[in-house]
Structure 1
Amino acid sequence: MTSFRFIHAADLHLDTPFSGMSGVPERLRQYLQGSTFSALGDLVDLAISEEVDFIVISGDIYDASDSSLRAQLRLREAWDKLGQHGIPVFLIHGNHDPLNSRRLRLAHPPHVTVFGAKMESAYASRRSDGQTVAVVSGISYPTAAVMENTSRQFHRDSDSKLYHIGLLHANVDGQEGHDAYSPCSLRDLANTGYDYWALGHIHKRQILSQSPWIIYPGNIQGRSLKETGPKGCYVVDVDEHGVTHPVFHELDYVRWNEIEISIEGLISEEDWKDAVEDKLQELRRSGTGRLQIVRMVFTGRGPLHKLLQSGRESGELLQELRRRENQRLEEKGTGIVDMGSIVWVAGFKVATGMDIDTALLLQEDSFLGELFRLVAKAEGEQELLGSIVDSAMTSLMDNSVLRGLLKEEGPQQRLDLLRRAQELASSLLVEEDPRGGVGQ
């Protein structure tokens, strides 16, 4: 086998509108809307600087089936630059940009291979000497919803000694919170005999297996607070023995994060404000050179719980923090160096609890004691957690919209709902308790 190098990327979602954010200044909104194109530009530059032999892209190149002309032109510009350096591209389309999309008008250049609605294969060569090094196979979505297990169309040629790469836009092993499009299992993929599965669809970066390699690279640019942390692609080296070594490279221009701040030990409103401002300064000093968009999550138990639950003070502080950051924006340019010092607070999330002795309460023979013990048990038992939440939500299941939203909730969201119910019950019962507290 001959050594070679390739890039695995997925879920470019070019021209994402970022329409869900409120209170965002126009300059920041424009930067957000250009971030997917900027990340694409860095993907191309990375391919050139790393001298890769080819690129594979596993679906959802565009964000919507009626992709904008701007997105198509920017993509063609990227293809042309790669073509100038002799770097081929192999790609598939996913649920956001299926083959029957109304606007897939611009033709791809010859060095870009687009796989069709049935499994197809192509050969990939090493750029330095033109030697064939891999078989690349893929299948695109003909329509927006593909419910069959398309991995069953892939079978390795038993006589071939070449490295086999499969491109698939799929939900492997039914990951919660994601549409079950092209559902398959790790076993399905392993049984094909392929060496590397270049997956797309799930935006969380994951290495599901190393034998064979089965990888979700995540998207190249986070698009909301559901897509936190570094985003990018994998540069994959395959040596002459077929040993595979993938290395993640960051490409994102905007970094989304949730930041926790505990209220334990905070006594006054001034303490709380200082803790928030200290955290912002810490983020600014340790920044990655990227625009940061954060949601602050207040956790822990303490006397400030009731204040934060009211929402008035937190709303006023949020407005003030945004005003200050807007001033910074007005003083800066629009380049990545200028935007790298900006930390925009998208919102506050209150996940605090009353200032009660939970250790004592867990031993108490009372309704609240039983509730806290049940929640503690549900935290470690997914089946119990699901049963409790489903039972509590039964009356809402007649509403199709709410039913759809609840189906999308993952284990963490279900646990959050249960904890909020626990705290609401605590607040109501403590207020009714003539002793003024529980477990005191």
Structure 2
Amino acid sequence: MLPFRFIHAADLHLDSPFAGMSGLTDRVRKHLQQSTFIALDRLVQLAIAEKVDFVVISGDIYDSANTSLRAQLRFTEALKVLDKEHISVFIIHGNHDPLDSPRLAVTMPPCVHVFGPESESVSGFRRCDGQEVAVITGMSYPTSKVKENISLQYSRRNHDSDLFHIGLLHANVDGNQDHETYAPCTKKDLIRSAYHYWALGHVHSRRILQESPHIVYPGNIQGRHIRETGPKGCYVVDVEETGNVNMQFHELDSVRWSVIEVPINPFQDTEELRLYIEERLTSIASSYDSGLSMVRIRLTGRGKIHRKLEDGFILDDMITELRRREDNRAGVAGFAGVVWVERFSLESGAEIQMERLLQEDSFMGEMLRLAAVQLDGDTGRDSVIHHALKPLMEQAEIRHLLSEVAPEEQKQWLRRAMELTAMLLLDDQQAGGASV
């Protein structure tokens, strides 16, 4: 087997709209909207710098079926750069950018092969001598809804040859709960195929499901919201003469999302909390000093400052000042090391003995137990959350906004309602006792 090198990338989601975010300045919003294109440019430069023989992209190049013209033109420009460097690119389309999507009829550079709706195999060559080194098999989604196990349509050509076999597949392997079940299959299905490397797409978190054979999700190249945390990029894959695979992850993102937890228990006043938060944000800026950090701060625990935080004014003032300062920094020196607070998530509670109240044989105890059961369940049609939101769902605009709210965030609303109700009932009890 001849040694060679390739890049495995997936889920570019070019021109992602970054919808549903509030409080962004024009400068920050523009940088977010450019971030997927910055990652694409970095992918191209990495392919050139690492002298790879070819690049495989495992689906979802675009963010939606209604592909923007800007995304198509930028992607075509990137492919032309790779073509000039004689770097081949092999592409499949996924559920976000299926083949039936309305797109501009763009002529692809000669180096590019886009797989059609049926499984097919093509050859991959080394740039240095034109020797055939790999058999690359793939198929694109004809429509956005592919629910069958399409991995069963992949077959290995030249089974007994010395060529390295790569399968490009956009799929949910072993039922990942964080993503929709498109092209469902199992690791056993993929292992049975006798491919050497499965270049997967669809799941946005980086995962190596199996080695020898390698079954790999590289994740997306740029995180798009708070549920896509940590470094994002692609793998540079070296295949040795023995067939051994060495992989190196390379970061491509210019915006990095993270969630930090800040317990309020130790703080005697909100000024202490503010100073501590600033220390944490400075630490984040030091650990990721090459790009923009988008941070959600989860305030947890129980403490006496919770009541001051509950009214929202202190947190509103704090986040406004933090954002103003970082936006000014970005205007002067760019976004390297800038830390933007996406929002505060108030998950703390007052200094009440919640566990004792949950055990009480009282109206409050019964109410809190009901809420606790709902927090442990789902947000389906039988849930308290569903029934509470039902009147709002009659308004089209509000229904659209609520559809973008994650179930965990809806549960956070219930958690806060539970805490606030307990505080009000306790205050009422204390007031009644004081008047007796």
TM range (shorter): 0.7 to 0.9
Please name the residue that 2:142 is paired with.
142
Per-residue Cα deviation, 1:182-205 (whole angstroms, up to 9, x for no partner): 122222222222221111111111
Per-residue Cα deviation, 1:272-298 (whole angstroms, up to 9, x for no partner): 222222222222333331111112111
User: TM-score w.r.t. structure 1 length?
Assistant: 0.85
Please name the residue that 2:310 is paired with.
309
Paired with 2:49 and 2:180, the residues of 1 have a C-alpha distance of 36
Paired with 1:41 and 1:18, the residues of 2 have a C-alpha distance of 19
Q: Name the SS for the 2:62 alignment partner.
A: coil
Native 8 Å contact 1:60 1:201 kept in 2: yes
1:342 aligned onto 2:338: yes
Question: What amino acid sits opposite 1:46 in the alignment?
Answer: L
Q: CA deviation at 1:308?
A: 1.7
Aligned length: 426
- Range with bigger deviation, 170-179 or 81-90: 170-179
1:194 aligned onto 2:210: no
Native 8 Å contact 1:99 1:141 kept in 2: yes
Per-residue Cα deviation, 1:283-337 (whole angstroms, up to 9, x for no partner): 23333311111121111211112222221211122122222223223333xxxxx
- Range with bigger deviation, 128-137 or 152-161: 152-161
Paired with 2:31 and 2:405, the residues of 1 have a C-alpha distance of 30
1:281 aligned onto 2:277: no
Please name the residue that 1:335 is paired with.
none
Paired with 1:246 and 1:171, the residues of 2 have a C-alpha distance of 22
- Range with bigger deviation, 290-299 or 68-77: 68-77
Q: Name the SS for the 1:47 alignment partner.
A: helix
TM-aligned CA distance change 1:397 to 1:308, over 3 Å: closer
Paired with 1:72 and 1:188, the residues of 2 have a C-alpha distance of 34
Q: Matches of residues 46-125 of structure 1 in structure 2 within 5 Å?
A: 46-125=46-125
Q: CA deviation at 1:41?
A: 1.0
Q: Name the SS for the 2:294 alignment partner.
A: strand
TM-aligned CA distance change 1:408 to 1:246, over 3 Å: farther
Native 8 Å contact 1:389 1:418 kept in 2: no
Q: Name the SS for the 1:227 alignment partner.
A: coil
Paired with 2:379 and 2:17, the residues of 1 have a C-alpha distance of 37
Question: What amino acid sits opposite 1:78 in the alignment?
Answer: A
Native 8 Å contact 1:297 1:351 kept in 2: yes
% identical equivalent positions? 49
Q: Matches of residues 123-272 of structure 1 in structure 2 within 5 Å?
A: 123-157=123-157, 158-272=159-273
Unaligned runs of 5+ in 2: none
Paired with 2:239 and 2:368, the residues of 1 have a C-alpha distance of 52
Native 8 Å contact 1:385 1:414 kept in 2: no
Question: What amino acid sits opposite 1:213 in the alignment?
Answer: H
RMSD between superposed Cα atoms in Å? 3.3
1:351 aligned onto 2:352: no
Per-residue Cα deviation, 1:372-426 (whole angstroms, up to 9, x for no partner): 99999999xxxx745999654574798799899799967x668757755664564
Native 8 Å contact 1:6 1:55 kept in 2: yes
Paired with 2:346 and 2:318, the residues of 1 have a C-alpha distance of 14
Question: What amino acid sits opposite 1:198 in the alignment?
Answer: A
Q: CA deviation at 1:225?
A: 1.4
Q: CA deviation at 1:369?
A: 8.2
Please name the residue that 1:16 is paired with.
16
Question: What amino acid sits opposite 2:149 in the alignment?
Answer: N
Paired with 2:208 and 2:329, the residues of 1 have a C-alpha distance of 39
Q: CA deviation at 1:45?
A: 1.0
Q: CA deviation at 1:17?
A: 2.5
Paired with 2:63 and 2:403, the residues of 1 have a C-alpha distance of 24
TM-aligned CA distance change 1:388 to 1:97, over 3 Å: closer
Q: CA deviation at 1:75?
A: 1.5
Paired with 1:331 and 1:394, the residues of 2 have a C-alpha distance of 46
Unaligned runs of 5+ in 1: 333-337
TM-aligned CA distance change 1:428 to 1:195, over 3 Å: farther
